[in-house]
Amino acid sequence: MDPDETPAPAAPPSAVSRGDVIGGGFRWSAGWALRTIVILLALYLLQRALAPLWVAILPIILALVLSTVLWPPTRWLRQRGFPPALAAACSILGAFAIIGGIIAAIVPSVVDQSEDLANKAIAGVNEVRDWAQGPPLNVRPDQIDDGVAAITDKLRESGSSIAGGVFSGVSTAGSLIVTLVLSLILSFFFIKDGPRFLPWLRGVVGEGPGAHLTELLSRMWNTLGGFIRTQAIVSAVDAVLIGGGLVILRVPLALPLAVLTFLGGFIPIVGATVAGALAVLVALVTKSWVTALIVLGIVIAVQQLEGHVLQPALQSRSMNLHPALVLLGIAVGSHGNGIIGAFLAVPTVALLSVLIRYLGEQVDLRTGAKKAADITAVTPHGLVAAQSGEAAAPQE
């Protein structure tokens, strides 16, 4: 051993054994697993408890969505001296007038062109039959007749089921009408008395929790209103561009298809795809495959414009949801709830993201990772809540 070389100092004996460290990790994991199970169980029980009340909850949710659209004109009227009830009534009647005008403009074109569309659809079916009888398929006419007869017999055997489905559809339509009427009535009260809600809530829960609820609910309201207005603008641009292309190409039912495109835009990705596919199908049946390809190109170009220009330009970063989250939300929402569930899925995911971000801010304030000055509050009560969170952080 070199005399000039000094031995390395020995490591001090550890006061904690490996078993203690591993055991602590398992305890930490088990604790969080147990908390997660309890939370999921509580959410499941809450869902089971609220399921029978869905018939009352759905109108409230739809009324809140409608209120985000009707509140800006109501607020504008109230600022000009209208009483709250009169301003709310004028907003609702104005919305009825707009929707009624759109329906009045659509119905004549549908009635005028439906017969021609049906005739061309029959001609298209006949063309497909003639093509199937030729090469390379060479399907014999008797095989086609046997297939048609089998389908007819199956429909005849299923007559009772079809009748039951029709009556079920009538019942569903009646329930939908009742839900919409109730939603309109609730919307009237929401936009008439909405400004009183948060002060009342603070009086019930106290100023401390009320400050958090005021800030959180205000952010959710702004997010929901921004989402609805942005989707309306994006959907309107899509409808104008696609509808204009259909008019130029002289595709029948251009106006109804444009309106359907506008409505479909409120179900991101899925709605636009379905509306575009229907426009291509109508062009194929009534015109030619060349026209259908042109319409397909227009639909794809408009969707690219929406995805890469309109959405990034109009949607704020706080509302920028990943497409995977949108698709998963639509899949979950539409399961068992149909179109209404798909429509409400994306706003629900957006509101959950607002809740998660707010909770994250409060955690950062209490750990000292953020200061109250770093938080952008939308209400004075939000600033008070942020300052209280900062005061709870450990002092250096």
Q: According to the model, what pLDDT value does residue 167 have?
A: 45
CA distance 100 to 129: 42
Q: Which of 20-34, 105-119, 166-180, 334-348 has the highest mean pLDDT?
A: 20-34
Phi, psi of 11 (to 5 degrees): -65, 135
What confidence tens digit (pLDDT) does each residue in 48-91 have? 998 888 888 888 888 998 898 899 999 999 999 899 999 999 99
Residue 254 has pLDDT above 90, yes or no: no
Tell me the chain's radius of gyration from C-alpha atoms.
Answer: 30
Q: Give SS3 for 384.
A: helix
Q: What percent of the chain has pLDDT over 70?
A: 74
DSSP assignment string, 223-263: HHHHHHHHHHHHHHHHHHHHHHHHHHTT-TTHHHHHHHHHH
> DSSP letter at 390?
H
Q: Give the pLDDT band (50/70/90) at residue 29.
A: very high
Residue 211 has pLDDT above 60, yes or no: yes
CA distance 97 to 232: 18
Q: Where are the alpha helices (DSSP H) in 16-158?
A: 18-50, 54-79, 84-133, 141-157
What confidence tens digit (pLDDT) does each residue in 117-141 have? 666 666 666 666 666 666 766 666 6
Q: Give the pLDDT band (50/70/90) at residue 228.
A: confident
Phi, psi of 130 (to 5 degrees): -65, -40
What's the token pair of residue 247?
A: 């008019």
Q: Give the pLDDT band (50/70/90) at residue 41.
A: very high
At which residue do the structure tokens 């495959």 appear?
A: 289
> Greater confidence, 205 or 164?
205
Q: According to the model, what pLDDT value does residue 297 have?
A: 92
The number of C-alpha atoms within 13 Å of 204 and in the hemisphere containing its C-beta is 8
> Greater confidence, 194 or 155?
194
At which residue do the structure tokens 């409808």 appear?
A: 239
Residue 32 has pLDDT above 90, yes or no: yes
CA distance 184 to 179: 9
Q: Give the pLDDT band (50/70/90) at residue 289.
A: confident
> DSSP letter at 192?
H
Residue 5 has pLDDT above 60, yes or no: no
> Greater confidence, 237 or 333?
237
Q: Give the pLDDT band (50/70/90) at residue 30.
A: very high
Q: Give SS3 for 121.
A: helix
List C-alpha distances in Å: 52 to 49, 194, 211: 7, 27, 32
CA distance 182 to 161: 31
Contact 272, 264 (CB under 8 A): yes
CA distance 286 to 311: 33
Q: Give SS3 for 285.
A: helix
What's the token pair of residue 328?
A: 């998963």
CA distance 295 to 254: 11
Residue 14 has pLDDT above 60, yes or no: no
Q: According to the model, what pLDDT value does residue 33 have?
A: 95
CA distance 299 to 308: 14
Report which of 263, 193, 188, 185 is spatially closest to residue 228, judged by C-alpha positions: 263
Mean pLDDT of the chain: 79
Q: According to the model, what pLDDT value does residue 3 have?
A: 53
